[in-house]
Structure 1
Amino acid sequence: MSCLDVPVDILLVEDNPRDIRLTHEAFKEADLDTSLQAVRDGHEALEFLFQQGEYEAASYPDLVLLDLNLPRKDGHQVLKEIRDDSELSPLPVLVLTSSEAEEDIRESYELAANAYLTKPSNPDEFVSLAQAVANFWLKSVQLPPVSA
C-alpha cells in the first residue's frame, strides 16, 4: 500500500515556534494529504508516542521529524527510547536539526536514525526540504505498518 492512499501522520518534535510554523507551511505547500502534529520537547514526544497523559488518544504517526536540541529530554535520548521499544522501533525517524556537528550526525546514525537533515536557513528552502521528504518518504518508501 502506498502512503498516498491514506493521510500520512507526521510527528514534529521541535521547540522553536518559528520552525514549527515553517514546517507546517512547507508541508502544506508540498500539497500532500498529511497531518502534522507538533510537540515541543523530548518528554512530550515520548508521551505522544507511548500514548500517555494528554496524548492517550493520539494517533500513531507514520513518520517522526526529530530535532536534537530539545528541553527536558534531547533528541538523542528520544531516539534511543524509540529504538529500544519493540513496538516503536520500526518507526521512521528523520533527525531535522540545525546542528552540523559530526558528533551529532554520528550519534544519530548509531542510534538508527533513518536520515539526518540539516534545517534550512530560509523559508523557501524549508518548502524544498518538505517536498524532498514527501517525494522520498511518502511517495517512494514502503513504510512499516502501524503497530500501535
Structure 2
Amino acid sequence: MSISEVNTSDCKTSVSRADTRPEYYQEISEKRTTLTLIPGVTNEVVGQFTDVQDNCIIGRFHVDITRNDDELVLIIYPELDMLTDCVCLYDIGFKVKELEAGSYHLKVYHTTSKRNLDKSNMIYNGSIKIDSQRSITIPMDKR
C-alpha cells in the first residue's frame, strides 16, 4: 500500500486573532476537517482532506499510510513547522494504491513535521467501510 499524487491547495482562508473580526475568526476556527474517499481503478482510492487548519506558512502537506491487518493509519503533516499569528484552511488531495474494498478501523493524525503520533494529534478514530462502488465522507473529530 502506498500514497501518491499528494497535492496541497493554496491557503483558502486566512484568519488571525489580532486582525480578524472575532465572530469570523470563531466561525473559521470551528470548521471541521472532512476526509472523502472515492473508489478509483482496481484497488485504488482517491482521498481528499477538506478544510485542514494549520498555520499560514505550511508550504505543502505530506500524507503517509500504514496498514496492520484491518487497521489503517493516515498521517497528514506539513513540510515545515513555523510559528505564525495566523491560520489557514487547506485542502489536501492524494491517491492510495493497493487498498482493497472492505471494513477497516481508521486512525487519522494531523501532526507537526516531526510526525509524533500521540492522542493529542489524533483527529479521527473509528470504523469505515470502503466500497468499490461508492464514495464516503468522514467528518474528523477535531480540527
TM-score (norm 1): 0.29
Q: Which structure's CA Rg is the greater one?
A: 2
Q: Whose relative contact order is higher, 1 or 2, with alpha carbons under 8 Å and at least 6 apart?
A: 2
More strand by share: 2
Higher helix share: 1
